[in-house]
Structures are given as C-alpha cells and as structure tokens.
Structure 1
Amino acid sequence: MPTTPAVVLHDLTFSWPDGATPIAGVSGAFATGRTGLVGLNGTGKSTLLRLIAGRLTPTSGSVTVAGTVDHLPQRITLDTDATVADLLGVRHVVDAVRAIADGDVRPELFDVVGSDGWDLEERAVAALDAADVLAGSSAAASAGSSPGGVLDRRVGTLSGGEAVLTAVTGIRLRAADVVLLDEPTNNLDGRARERLHELVRTWRGALVVVSHDRELLELVDATAELRTGGLSTFGGTYAQYQEWLAVQQEAARSTLRDAEQRLRREKRQRIEVQERIAHSERQGRKDVANRKYVKAVVDDRRNAAEKSQGARRGAAAEAESRARDAVATAERAVRDDDRIVVDLPDPDVPAGRRLAVLRGADGREVVLAGPERVALTGPNGVGKTTLLEQLVGTGASSPGAVGPCGAGPDGAPRATAQRLTERVGYLPQRLDGLDDAATVLDEVRRRAPHVVPGELRNRLARFLVRGDQVDRPVRTLSGGERFRVALASLLLADPPAQLLVLDEPTNNLDLASVDQLVQALAAYRGGLLVVSHDRSFLERVGLTAELALGRDGALAEVRR
C-alpha cells in the first residue's frame, strides 16, 4: 500500500463537555490510499473522523491533514430539511447563480460563482444522472426536466439510500485530497452498493472509510482498528487482518496459559518457603524451651535464620509478583470484548392474530399475523420507509383505513398500510425518533414509565449502555451508541410490542452485535416486519414471507 501519510494524529484527545472521552492519546497515521477503519461500537470512530474533518476541536494533541478534506457523516440522513444541493455541496454557488439571474449584481455573488460555476446546476444533475442516484425514483419523476426541481428536493423526501448516494456524488464533484466516509453503505440496495463498491475500488487519493460492510472492507489497501483509545494499522484487507489477528490471539492465549501456569508454580513455591520457615521457627522455639543450646548460640542462630528467612521470603514474593504482572500483561493482549445481550420478552400474541394489513397500489392485500416475520424489500426510492411510517403513524399519512389505492405527492401510485394493534414498536432508519436534549435514561423511560430507574440501568447495561453514559444527552452519542439506545427504547418498552417494525436494523451495528440481534429476533414470538438490504441478516431471522415493493406501488410475494 502507499506509505505517504495523508493524515497524521499526534497524542490526540477529545472529551465531551460531560467529561466522556472517546478519544484519548491516539497517535498514528493514515496513508495515501484506501484504509478501512474498524472497531467496536462506541470506540470513537465517528468522533475521530469528525476531528480529522475539522468538525470537532481536539481537547489536546493535533491532527495534520495533507491538503483538503471532505467528510460524509454517518448521520447524513437526519438533516431532513437539507436539500439535494446541500448534499452535493453546491448550494452556495447555485444560490448565487439564481440571485444573479433574478437581477442581483453584488460583486460577492460573482466571486462565489467564479468562472466555472454558471452551469453548475446542469452539471450537478448530470452527475446524479450518471451515478444513477435518482433515476426512476419519485424524486426524479417529480423534478421533470428542471434542474432546480432536483436540487431543491428535501432530504426528508428521499430514501436513505438516495440521500447517501447523493452525498457521495457530491464528494466526487468536490474532489478533495482526503475523503472520509462514515458507514457509506447504510441503507443502500444491492445495485447502489455495487456502484459504491466500484467507486471505492477505483478511488484515487486518500480515503478513510468506516464500515461494517465486509465486502467493502475487502476493497481497501489497509485496515486500521481503533480500540480502547489506541490506533493500530495493518497492511491488508479486513479478511487478511482477521486472519492475522486470529494468529496473534492464539499466541496471546498461549502466552496467558504459560503465564498462569508459572504464577501457580510461584505460588506453590512461596507457600513451601513459608512452610519451611515456619518449621524452622517452631524448631528454634523448641530448642530454646529444651535449653539445647546456650543463649548466645541461640541468639546467633536466630539472627542468621531471620536474615536467611527474610531473603527467601522476599525472593519468593518477588517471583510471585513478577509472575502476576506477566499474567496481567498477557490478559490485556487477549481480547474479551463485550457484546450486547438482547433478550426479548414474550409479547403474548396468539397464533393467527391479525397485526397489520399492507395493500399494493394494484389492490393486492397482504395480512401480517402473529407470529409471522415478513421482509419488505425493493430498490432505493420505491417508498418502503414511507409505507412503514404510514403503518406506525409517524409519516405524513395516518394509519387509518386502507383505501383501494394510495398516491404519493407526485401522483405516482403508492402502497398503503394499516396497523391492527396499538402495541407496535418502530425502529426508524434515520434514528430521528429520539429526543436529542433528553438523557439516555429519560429517553428509555418514556417507553417504560413503570420500570424503576435502577432496573432500567441494569437492562441498558445489556445493550452496553452503562455508567455515566446513561446520563449523557442523546445528542452526544455516536451513531452506534445512538442505535443501541434506539434499540433499547424499542425492545425494553413496557408492555412489550406485539409487532416490531424495523427499518434497516443492522445499520451502525458491529458484526458481533448483529449476531446477538439475530438470535433475539429468531426467538421473538410476536410479529416482525423488517426492511433490510442485508440478505444474510434476512435469511438468519427465519422469514416466513418476503414482499417486494415495486416502483409502481405494487406488492409482489417473493415467497411465503
């Protein structure tokens, strides 16, 4: 891999106002080339990217970047009032061109446009077209032939995948020297992932990408891991790094076994020394009692024995201490990472109980009953999230009676949905259902008001939300931490949901946590409706049916 440093970190530390310190004394470098940055949820990966991008100021230490830097944040889809032009990074130029066209001749506007910004709207739309970001979607259809119609669309009207790909297209347009991508494959369908993978495969310049997408991590030149404040870099793909790490961990476990065996041996030897010393002291007391030796001889023997016994006792204690230190060192080298523990309560859903109705624009009706688990699939932009929002009552459409046909704001046909139970738990794709100003504990208590705080703290600990983190404001959480709080709020609700509606539930979760979520959902006895582009995840949760939503609003049963 290229060795020229593009980003250099020197003793970098960052603390939040509440004292939480996700980055502590980190030193290292990212080379020119493609680097995958991995680590468990909550280790500070997103915070590190924000520090490199200059969006956060280090508490101490420094970041040096060779050239310009561009950053795709993990929470790009949360800013629902932003526009496509904002995602592309061309809003300031577009606004200046439009103002001049309307008769504003201030010199500063011409400075913003420069010599090559006059046709930026057309070039931006052409870039979206070339990337096939909005082609065939409702956003493109509503825009018609007007470039402004496309660029003025709000992020809230785009699917999560469309928003991410639009932002990545903007990064390509800006062509910065160093690019930072935070979970770029979140919400992307199969075709969009392929396009992003090709983009990474052919990337020129310095690229640092945070991802849990194994396929994407096989396209990098190096793998860096952020772990308990330290940054280590390996020259190879994630799979190669895992193979190397497995060998290192086996060696570490072997060293630990040897160190523990030596500690046991040193303990035995110390005990034997103490027993010999005790025996010698008892014998000395006997000799004094029996007057076997004259007092002067006894005193000389006692003094010599005390010196000898003290030396032996000290040597034995020192040997045991060294062995104990060796065990502690070996233990630190062996990984024993915490994982979330998800244990879902029984929602008491009778078999066959009708929980929800979905109806395609063609009138086809699908009933979801307990304890069925149904996947809703389809390409980005067809309205999967919109349908889920209508079902749970958070979108523009209310979960009222199902009509014969729905229609979107652009007049295109839409599927419709209705819930038949009030006990519905919803995990939104954008994670925008949390109150950023509330503490983590208060946010979870909203869903479980009858559970005492102490018990909630114990339950949150199973989601790796513990200690002072429970009292932090939600706005200070990383993407992975925010996801775990949203998941905990959903799964710790009292009474438990009879129908779980999950929109891209594996976003932001490390691979070990995905395994735990799969196990919990596989054992869940309520109804499950899930949107996901992660085929492996869908296969593992034990689907009873899969529905494909088409661009025409029709629902097709892929299997049942």
Structure 2
Amino acid sequence: MRTSLSVHDLSFTWPDGSTVVTGLDLAIGPGRHGLVGLNGSGKSTLLKLVAGQLTPTTGTVTTAGTLAYLPQDPGSDPRRTIAEVLAIADTLAALSRMEAGDVRESDYDVIGDDWDIAERTAAELGRLGLGHLELDRTVATLSGGELVLLSLAALLLRRPAVLLLDEPTNNLDGEARARLIEAVAGWRGTLLVVSHDRALLNAMDDIAELRGGEVRWYGGGFDAYEAQVAAEQEAAERAVRAAETDVKAQKRDLVESQAKLASHARQGRARAARGDLPRILVGGRKRAAQVTAGRVTGVHQERLAGAASRLDEAEAAVRDDREIRVDLPDTAVPPRREVLLLEGVRPAFGDLELDLDVRGPERIGLTGRNGAGKTSLLRTITGELAPAGGRIEMKVPWRYLPQAMDLLVPELTVAENIARIAPDASETERRSRLARFLFRGRDADQPASTLSGGERLRATLASLLLAEPAPQLLLLDEPTNNLDLPSIRHLVEALRSYEGAFIVVSHDERFLDDLELTRRIQV
C-alpha cells in the first residue's frame, strides 16, 4: 500500500529540555487510523509536528498531497462570518459578480476549480447538521460544538489528501457526534484521529498506540485494540509470576549451594585440625575446594542474574497506569445541607430557564443539545455572566472548571500554580497533594505551557480541589475533553471519592453513567 504520510527519525524537545519523541519512524497509507496513548505521551504534539505547527528538533515529515489539521480547540475571531471560516467568502463573491455580468480576469483565479462551491458547501453543512446556519452569521453566535463542526466542514471543503483530527468530538452533543462519526466513516483519503471517543475509534480501520516514544499498531477499532492489550497484559502478568518464581528458586539454590560449600569447608578444617591428613594434602584439597566453590557460586549467581533480568523484562511489559486519588475531608458536605439555589434563572445566551435546589453531596449531570445554554448557565452561576432573569444563591465555597481550562498561569510551573491558590500550605504539603494528581518530583516542576491536554486538566483539577478554602461545590464543563480513556476512568474514581457536590456538563454518556449521578437534568 502506498504511503500518504511518513515520519522519519523524528525528535522533538521543548525549550525546557523535556523530550516528547526521539527517533520516531511512522508510515501511514490511505484509510482511517486512530491514535491513542496516555496523557502526556505526545499525541497532540505529534499531530502538530506533522501539520507544521511545531518544528521538529530533528527528522523529517513527508506527505503525499495536501494536508489539513483540526486542533483540539479550533478558536476563531468571533467577528468572522461563517463564510469566512469556511474560506469561501471570496469565491462566492467572485461567482456572484460573474452571475451579475461583472466579469473580471482575477475572479477566474479566485474561483479555480470551485465552480460548485455553493452546492458543495450546502451539502457539507447539511451532512454535519449545520444546514440551518446562514453564511453571513458571525462565529460569536455559535456554540462550541457548532464551531468544531464548522471548522471540520472548512477542512472537508478543501478536499485534502491527508486529514488530521485532534479530539474532534469534544463539545459535541450525541447527535453531532453521530454526524461526525458518519462523515469520518465515509472518508476515502488518509485520516489520522487522536481521540478518547470509543464510538469514533471503533470507526477506525486500525489503532496506533503512542507509548514510550514508540508507535505500535493494532488491527481493528478500539474494542479490538482493548482486547489485544488485555490479552498481552494477561500474558505479561503470567510472565512476571513465572519470573518471580524462578528468581526465588535461583536464590534458594544459591543459598543451599553456599551452605553445602560452607559445611564441606568446616569438615576439612576439622580434619586438618585433628591431623588426619598430611599437611601437603590438606593444602591441595583446600585450594581445590576454593576453586570448586568459586565455580559453583559463579554458576548460581549467573543463573540468579539471568532470572532477575527476565523479571525486569517481564515487569516492563506490564503497564503501570497510575490513578488520581482525592481524599480531601474539607470538601465534605453534610447530607441535606443546601449548597446552591436557582430560581427561574435564565442565562444571557440560549433559551434555558431553570429552577434548581442542590443539597448535600449531590452529583448532578446537565445534558442537552449544543447551543441550549449549558455552558452559559454555569458561567451565570459563577457570576461570570449576568443572568437575563432569576435569582442565584450560592451557600458554600465553590470552584469552576471551564472548557478552555485556562485557570493556570502558563509561565509558572505546576507547583507554582498550586502555590498561588494554596499560599498557606507548606511546600511539602503542596507536593504531597500534587502527587495525588500524578505530579511527582520533576513532573510538578513542568511549566504549565508545556502540559498536554490531559496533564493540563489534571493540574487544573488539582488547583480547584487544593484551593483555599476547600470547594464544597464543583462546576465542571465537559471535563473529559482531551483526556485519554485511562484518565477518564481515573477522573471518574476521583469524582466518586470527592465528598462535595458537583454539577457536570457533558455529552459523554458513558462518563455520566460511570459517575452514578443522583440526578440528570435535560435542557
């Protein structure tokens, strides 16, 4: 199969000296390919390197044909129109002039081969559920999910040979996700997708896992990948148990052989002391015994070293995906204590109006279509937006996790960011607390600007929960965006162990099911 995208001897190091990949080789042909890996493994960085958003330290990237790239959070000037985001405004204007009889030579260059751009645009927008959008509408009026789909439509209209998508289902409701997955399933070029969305990954032809700076391929979608990894881990754990048994056996044999040699030596010394043997014969036997002892001990030590080496190899094959731990008693809320009261609250954006009484350690999920006003509601509760109507009464300390996760100061390290929000805690206490969120040792000294999406969420979550005073209410807006699947499981465990109340906005149905919510509110 021909190669559409190739990476040779690719290395990249951040300015602070932290290395993401070293000597990476990768070749991808036509088809739909998923890319998975732990947070911080370098998935998004790899896409940026391939897309030319970052310059590799060494190595080359080669693509056959045009390449298009959709980042995790495709921002846009809110004043731009939909036609401008789609990059068709000039082409439509040129076509309009020609239809009016105003023929200009330069317009032929603007139009190129896009004489059917209006029809193709309407079809693409309709396929992605955006057919209701007028081309002169501004980006400021769109929801986050609509902007993602619009940005994807802009790429699809360019008909690239290679398409890179980084977490494209972030912020999408169930219907929008289904439309995006359908569009991806019909892709006929070369597609590389970084995602934690199981349904999207199951639409892939194969899955590539980036781990330890190397890429390994698995045939089939995500379910097949998980089954293969589970089988590998079962075999690896069996190998560890066998290697541990072998190490114990070799240690036992070494001890037993040394005990026998020591016994023989004692017997020889006793016979020599009694004068049973001539002195010259005693000396010869002693030297021979020493040679034999050295040889026997060397053999057993070599066998033990070999067994220990096999154990190291077996243990290296077992994955150690650490877990987030949250055990913060100050966040606890007594049952039935009133936490938040909303009476007829109407956010400034969307058509939502809500009455809500949150008590005790309730877990509330807020779901609904893109543009319904869920994010606006959270921003209204926090006071970031003024309500269009209604009353809000906050009864406990709270913290808000926005979609943008922009609570960290980029120039500061993770530890320095935590020091900002918990100034009264000692350095040792802050480091100990950060370790619960998997920032141990040098990991806590990384600048926030160099963190991956998942690492940034962990650091942000740490800054929320370790703040002073301790929050007894969390407001979470799409917290699984940019998280790999192990981290989503860890986040579920963290929120389950959190003793306060929370309201979470999410389109991730599996995530919401796993949280074991006390209430779901459809808006």
TM-score calculated relative to the size of structure 1: 0.83
Instruction: Provide the rounded CA distance (Å) in 2 between the counterparts of 1:108 and 1:251.
Output: 68
Q: Percent identity?
A: 44
Judged with a 3 Å threshold, the aligned counterparts in structure 2 of structure 1 residues 87 and 222 are, in CA distance, closer, same or farther, namely farther
1:91 and 1:363 map into 2 onto residues whose CA distance is 37
Whether the 8 Å CA contact 2:122–2:131 is kept in 1: the answer is no
Equivalent residues of 2:88, 2:117 under 8 A apart:
no
Asked if 2 retains the 8 angstrom alpha-carbon contact of 1:161 and 1:188, the reply is yes
**How does 1:208-227 map onto structure 2 within 5 Å?**
208-227=192-211
* Residue aligning to 2:517: 543
Write the mapping of 1:125-204 to structure 2, written as runs, cut at 5 A.
127-133=124-130, 135=132, 140=133, 147=135, 149-150=136-137, 152-154=138-140, 157-204=141-188
The corresponding residue for 1:35 is 33
The CA deviation at 1:131 is 2.6
**1:470 correspondence with 2:460:** no
Aligned match of 1:390: 380
Question: Which residues of structure 1 form unaligned runs of 5+?
Answer: 102-106, 407-414, 550-560
In the other structure, the counterpart of 2:8 is 10
1:113 matched to 2:93? The reply is no
Whole-Å Cα distance in 1 between the matches of residues 455 and 11 of structure 2?
19
Residue 510 to residue 128, structure 1, CA distance change in 2 (3 Å): same
Q: 1:128 to 1:418 in 2, by over 3 A?
A: farther
Aligned residue type for 2:125: L
CA RMSD of aligned residues (A): 3.0
The answer to which of 323-332 and 438-447 deviates more is: 438-447
Q: 1:338 to 1:70 in 2, by over 3 A?
A: same
Deviation at 1:531, TM superposition (A): 0.8
Task: Compute the displacement of 1:180 (Å).
Answer: 1.1
2:422 maps to 448
Separation in 1 of the partners of 2:429 and 2:83?
A: 44
Residue of 235, 242, 250 corresponding to 1:266: 250
* Cα pair distance change 1:176/1:13, threshold 3 Å: same
Aligned to 1:67, what secondary structure does the other structure show? Answer: coil
Give the direction of change, closer, same or farther, for the CA distance of 1:538–1:363 in structure 2 (3 Å limit).
closer
Partner of 2:502: 528
What secondary structure is seen at the aligned counterpart in 2 of 1:76? coil
Deviation readout 1:213-253 (Å, 9 max, x if unpaired): 11111111101111111210012111112112222222222
SS class of match (1:5): coil
Other-structure match for 2:368: 378
- Aligned residues of 1:388 and 1:417 also touching (Cα < 8 A): no
From 232, 240, 243, the equivalent of 2:216 is 232
**Distance in 2 of aligned mates of 1:108 and 1:44:** 47
The Cα of 1:504 is off from its aligned counterpart by 0.8
Q: Who is 1:558 aligned against?
A: none
Which structure 2 residues correspond to residues 312-391 of structure 1 after superposition, within 5 A? Answer: 312-350=296-334, 351-357=336-342, 359=344, 365-391=355-381
CA 1:111 to 1:16, structure 2 compared with 1: closer, same or farther past 3 Å? farther
1:496 to 466, 470, 478: 470
Q: CA deviation at 1:25?
A: 3.0
- How much has 1:271 moved relative to structure 2? 1.1
Structure 2 counterpart of 1:557: none
Q: Is 1:277 paired with 2:261?
A: yes
Counterpart residue number, 1:21:
19
Aligned to 1:63: 61
TM alignment of 1:506-517, pairs within 5 A: 506-517=480-491
CA distance in 2, matches of 1:294, 1:390: 102
Contact 1:69/1:177 (<8 A) preserved: yes
Residue from 234, 241, 250 that aligns with 2:225: 241
Question: Does the Cα contact within 8 Å between 1:421 and 1:498 map onto a contact in 2?
Answer: no
What SS class does the counterpart of residue 19 from structure 2 fall into? Answer: coil
1:552 aligns to what?
Answer: none
Is the contact between residue 375 and residue 531 of structure 1 (CA under 8 Å) also seen in structure 2? yes
Whichever residue aligns with residue 365 of structure 1, its letter is D
Residue 127 and residue 237 in structure 1: after superposition, are their counterparts in 2 closer, same or farther (change >3 A)? Answer: closer
- Structure 1 pair 263–537 and aligned structure 2 pair: CA distance change class (3 A): same
Deviations 1:27-65 (A, max 9, x none): 332232111111111111111111111211222233332
Is 1:22–1:43's contact at 8 Å kept on the other side of the alignment? yes
Contact 1:391/1:417 (8 A) holds in 2:
no
Cα distance in 2, alignment partners of residues 417 and 65 from structure 1: 56
Whole-Å Cα distance in 1 between the matches of residues 36 and 79 of structure 2?
29
Between the aligned partners of 2:479 and 2:109, the Cα distance in structure 1 is 41
> Matched residues in 2 for 1:339 and 1:304: separation?
57
Q: Deviations over 1:174-221 (max 9, x none)?
A: 121111111111111011011011011111111111111111111111
Over 3 Å counting, the alpha-carbon distance change for 1:466 and 1:74 in structure 2 is farther
> SS at the partner of 1:22?
strand
For the Cα contact (< 8 Å) 1:387–1:416, is it kept in 2? no
One-letter code aligned to 1:67: G
* TM-score, normalisation: structure 2: 0.89
Return the alpha-carbon distance in structure 2 between the equivalents of residues 96 and 301 of structure 1. 105
